[in-house]
């Protein structure tokens, strides 16, 4: 019986770690992309839409980044 509860715990723990890692990775990716957009806008003197094009950011993601700029 103890093996069963250990297995359930381990499975839950692994899922939690994976979920946490994915969220951390996604957050880091978004922060990095925002920084790249801002850097392009500043150094190349372009607007947000031009920076999106340069970075090939999908149309579906652009409104989210605009909110953060």
Tens digit of each residue's pLDDT, the chain (69 residues): 456 566 566 776 677 666 766 676 678 889 999 999 999 999 999 999 999 999 999 999 999 999 999
Q: What is the distance of C-alpha 28 from the center of its chain?
A: 5
What's the confidence (pLDDT) of residue 27? Answer: 81
What's the confidence (pLDDT) of residue 3? Answer: 63
Q: Are 61 and 29 in contact (CB under 8 A)?
A: no
CA atoms within 13 A on the CB side of 46: 16
**Model pTM?**
0.68
How many helices and strands in the chain, by DSSP H and E?
3, 0
Task: Give me the count of residues in the chain.
Answer: 69
């Amino acid at each position: 019986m103890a093996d069963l509860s250990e297995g359930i715990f381990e499975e839950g723990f692994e899922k939690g770690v994976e979920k946490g890692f994915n969220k951390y990775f996604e957050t880091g990716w978004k922060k990095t992309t925002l920084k790249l957009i801002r850097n392009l806008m500043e150094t190349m003197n372009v607007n947000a839409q031009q920076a999106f094009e340069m970075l090939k950011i999908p149309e579906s993601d652009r409104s989210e980044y605009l909110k953060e700029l």
